[in-house]
């Protein structure tokens, strides 16, 4: 079996792996065991998945669902190879997510898969962007969001507005102040949830319900905003502004800045300066 597995990120109770399979149609199916609970997003290709929950043909946009400590079989009966993002969860991590989902009575997947659903399109796009950028913080948030969406869709419960308590509002307000005061620091979802004395998934849901962004999206927005202001008012090198804003490398900063602002940092800085003719007129 030709398979390349690359761990992209991992934390307490979760991990994300990029899996590229190059198996051909004539290769015999292979058997493995899910070490943890698995939600694998199929990005490209097709294959047949079989477990004690049943069998299903996995297609792009669908989710493979695996229960911990159960055997499964994958085979390529119709086409060569596939590419998946595999999200692994410990029983404790998945239980903390299930506890917040109405109708999720037991911590077990009854079906082998979730077919492609419109509700998952934006989330899977976020997952692929996070994979391509190798962003561990973003991948952690995507992992928990995917676990919550999977639990909701597999129980058949309609998505309801998140109920936010006054205590949650206080937690989120304190987290926002922390992000604003230390936006250049390494602040992970687990760190913020730990300071709020709540589970990462509950904190993520509460934060998103109140702010409209995930904690990491808010952190990035804060960093980019401050970098944009410095580009306009300071003459420091772009690289220095990027590093002091909290970005680990210049290419990541340039890419994210252009995506949000529509210009590269250098273009943005130049666009704020008056052309020589205008400058002379103002004298």
pTM here is 0.77
Q: What is the pLDDT of residues 146-159, one digit of tens each?
A: 999 999 888 865 56
- Cα(193)–Cα(177) distance, integer angstroms: 14
- Cα(4)–Cα(71) distance, integer angstroms: 20
Decide if pLDDT at 104 tops 80: no
- Cα dihedral 94/100/104/109 (nearest 10): -20
Q: Break the chain into its structural domains and give their ranges.
A: 3-155, 166-212, 220-271
Check residue 281 and give its pLDDT.
Answer: 33
Instruction: Tell me the mean pLDDT in the region 10-28.
Output: 91
Residue-averaged pLDDT of the chain: 87
CATH class for domain 220-271?
A: mainly alpha
Please say whether the beta carbons of 210 and 203 come within 8 A. Answer: no
Instruction: Tell me the mean pLDDT in the region 254-283.
Output: 70
Decide if pLDDT at 80 tops 80: yes
Check residue 87 and give its pLDDT.
Answer: 97
DSSP line for 254-276: HHHHHHHHSS-HHHHHHHTSPPH
Decide if pLDDT at 2 tops 70: yes
- Fold held by 3-155: Jelly Rolls (2.60.120)
Decide if pLDDT at 282 tops 60: no
Angle in degrees, CA 120, 126, 130, rounded to 5:
140
């Amino acid at each position: 079996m030709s398979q390349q597995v690359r761990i992209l990120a991992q934390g307490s109770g979760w991990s994300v792996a990029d899996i590229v399979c190059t198996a051909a149609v004539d290769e015999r199916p292979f058997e493995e065991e899910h070490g943890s609970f698995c939600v694998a997003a199929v990005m490209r290709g097709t294959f047949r998945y079989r477990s004690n929950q049943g069998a299903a043909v996995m297609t792009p946009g669908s989710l493979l669902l695996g229960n911990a400590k159960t055997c499964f079989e994958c085979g390529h009966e119709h086409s060569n190879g596939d590419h998946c993002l595999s999200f692994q969860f410990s029983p404790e991590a998945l239980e903390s997510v299930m506890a917040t989902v109405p109708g999720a009575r037991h911590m077990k997947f009854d079906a082998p898969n979730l077919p492609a659903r419109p509700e998952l399109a934006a989330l899977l796009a976020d997952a692929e962007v996070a994979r391509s950028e190798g962003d561990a913080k973003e991948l952690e948030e995507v992992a928990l969001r995917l676990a919550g969406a999977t639990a909701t869709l597999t129980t058949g419960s309609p998505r309801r507005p998140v109920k936010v308590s006054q205590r949650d509002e206080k937690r989120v307000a304190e987290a926002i102040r922390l992000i604003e005061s230390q936006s250049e620091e390494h602040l992970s979802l687990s760190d913020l949830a730990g300071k709020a004395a709540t589970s990462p998934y509950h904190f993520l849901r509460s934060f998103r319900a109140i702010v409209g962004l995930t904690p990491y999206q808010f952190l990035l927005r804060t960093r980019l905003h401050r970098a944009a202001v410095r580009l306009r008012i300071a003459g420091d090198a772009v690289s220095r502004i990027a590093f002091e804003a909290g970005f680990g490398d210049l290419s990541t900063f340039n890419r994210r800045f252009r995506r949000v602002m529509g210009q590269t940092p250098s273009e943005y800085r130049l666009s704020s300066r008056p052309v020589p003719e205008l400058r002379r007129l103002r004298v």
